[in-house]
Structure 1
C-alpha cells in the first residue's frame, strides 16, 4: 500500500520520484507569460464589446429621440397652411442641445402625370445630432396642396 509521509511516497520503488522539490513548486516564466497573454486577450475582447455596447446605446438613444422630435416637427408642419410652406432650419432649444433640423420643401416631378403633381409638395425633414452632425435622421412627406381660385 502506498501513502504519503513527509512529502515522500512510501511503498514506492523509487522514493525520490514521489518527493517534492523546491523546483517543482512554482510556475515557470513561460507559463506566467502565457497566462498573462491569455488574460490580456480576454480583457481586450471584453473592453471592445463594452465600447461597442456604449456606441450602440448612443445610436439607440438618438434614433428614439430623433423619431419623437421628427414627429413633433412634422405635426407643426402639418398645422401650417400648405401654401406657406418654405424651406427652413433650426434647433430644438435648450431641452435638446445639439439637435438640429433642416426642412426642404420642393415640387414633385414625374413624367406623364404633370396635372396631379401640381397639387403635391415634397417635404424632407432631416435631424442632426452633435457638433458635426455625426448622427442623421431623415423623414420624407408628400403633402397635398389645394390650389386656391384666383
Structure 2
C-alpha cells in the first residue's frame, strides 16, 4: 500500500480577506498594524508642524521688535541731531507708552577731527543686560 502525503497550502495573499472560518469575507479593509503605522506617521508629522509653527511665531515676534527698535533708534537719532547744540553729552531713558519696554542710550565720542563728533544711539528691549538691541552710529559737525 502506498502512503499518501497531503500538503496544505496557506494562501498568504488573501489572508486579510478571510473571515473567522478562513473563507474570504468579501469586506476589504486595513489591518490593525497598518492603522497603527499610519497614525504614527500622522502624529510625527503633526508634532513637526507644531514645532515649526512655534519657531515661526517666535521669529515673527523677534522681527517685529527689531523693526520697532530700528524705527525708535532712527527717531532718537533725529532728536539728538536736532538738539545737538543744546546737549552734547550722553543721555539715556525709556520711550513713552506704548513703547515703554524699549530703552535708549545716546553716547558722544570724539574723533580725530575737532569739529566732528561721533554719536551712537542704542535701543534695547527685553530684560536688562540682554543682547536684544539695535545700534545706529552717525557723525555730527559743530
1:22 is paired with a residue of what secondary structure? coil
1:106 aligns with 2:109: yes
Residue deviations 1:63-90 (CA, integer Å, cap 9, x gap): 2211221121111101114363111111
The whole-number CA distance in structure 1 between the counterparts of 2:16 and 2:77 is: 84
Range 46-55 or range 131-140, more displaced: 131-140
Mapping of residues 1-150 of structure 1, within 5 Å:
20-22=17-19, 25-28=29-32, 30-82=33-85, 84-109=87-112, 117-132=113-128, 133=130, 135-145=132-142
Residue deviations 1:73-131 (CA, integer Å, cap 9, x gap): 1111011143631111110022213100111111124xxxxxxx111111111111112
The whole-number CA distance in structure 2 between the counterparts of 1:48 and 1:18 is: 41
Q: Structure 1 107/26 Cα, relative in aligned 2: closer, same or farther at 3 Å?
A: same
The whole-number CA distance in structure 1 between the counterparts of 2:93 and 2:121 is: 11
**In proportion to residue count, which structure has more helix?**
1
Return 5+ residue gaps in structure 1 as ranges. Answer: 1-16, 110-116, 146-150
- Per the normalisation by structure 2, the TM-score is 0.72
2:37 is paired with a residue of what secondary structure? helix
Residue deviations 1:15-73 (CA, integer Å, cap 9, x gap): xx699423674423x33332232112211221122112112211221122112211211
Aligned residues: 122
RMSD of aligned Cα (Å): 2.6
1:44 is paired with a residue of what secondary structure? helix
